[in-house]
Amino acid sequence: MSTNKTFLTALQWLSPAFPIGGFAYSHGLEWAIEKRHVTDQTSLQNWLQDLLGLGSARSDAILLALAFESENKSELIHVNQLALALSASAERRSETLLQGQAFGKTIRDVWGQDCTDLCYPVALGAAARCENLIKEDIITAYLHAFSANLISAAIRLVPLGQTQGQHILLALTPEINACAAEASGAQEDDLSSTTFLSDVASMRHETLHTRIFRT
């Protein structure tokens, strides 16, 4: 069970107030909404379920776990290279690098840990190990924050109501828990992704004529 300190640290790191600029990224969702692939509560929930079960959220969770288990800098660099290789587009690569840099800077300045210049889930896993956080807890918190951030983007873009957004986040609880449990025991060979439309969305967003989000 989490101690109060580790629990509160996880909450702090994955809070919307933590300065990584997560509000500026839609993970390709802006294009999906513009092109009517996501239009309402049901289609958004389905989109996020796919990411958690088959796509980038699952991959990020496994990368976080692998970073957490890394015994030395060489292993951590290898995991980071995997994270970069799995970035489906230039915007996805930018998203994970910029958020990772912002996260690493704050962790260095506040906690004194060196996890700079890493992709976001890799930096998070490395920092969590240094601070003795519980692996499955930080993965669960990451997936919850990931989902909440995209729901927040969709509320502004679709648009959806705040209450609808909370319905979706609650409904995603089984997928979040299942993904976190799987990722906690996953190995490098378990990395995969089959959410092709989400990957295409991240590519097509680069040339979207009018956009609010960076990705």
| Per-residue pLDDT reduced to its tens digit, 174-191 | 999 999 999 999 999 999
C-alpha to C-alpha distance for 193 and 189, rounded to whole angstroms = 12
Q: Which is nearest to 80 in space by CA: 69, 99, 93, 67?
A: 67
pLDDT at site 3: 65
Report whether 199 contacts 31 (CB < 8 A): no
Q: pLDDT tens for residues 160-174?
A: 999 999 999 999 999
* pLDDT tens digit sequence for 135-154: 999 999 999 999 999 999 99
**SS3 breakdown of the chain: % helix, strand, coil, rounded to 5?**
70, 0, 30
* DSSP SS3 for 40: coil
Average pLDDT, the chain: 97
> Residues with Cβ < 8 Å from 112, sequence gap 6 or more?
none
Give residue-wise pLDDT tens across range 106-124.
Answer: 999 999 999 999 999 999 9
Instruction: Give every CB contact of residue 157 below 8 A, 6+ residues apart in sequence.
Output: 26, 29, 30, 33, 212
Please give the model's pTM, rounded to 2 decimal places: 0.97
Domains of the chain: 24-207 (1.10.4190.10)
Mean pLDDT of 5-20: 96
Answer whether residue 20 shows pLDDT above 90: yes
Cβ atoms of 106 and 18 within 8 Å: the answer is yes
Are the C-beta atoms of 89 and 203 separated by less than 8 Å? yes
pLDDT tens-digit profile of 78-113?
Answer: 999 999 999 999 999 999 999 999 999 999 999 999
Instruction: Centre a 10 Å sphere on the Cβ of residue 29 and count the other Cβ atoms it contains.
Output: 28
**Per-residue pLDDT band at 4 (split at 50, 70, 90):** confident
**pLDDT over 60 at 2, yes or no:** no
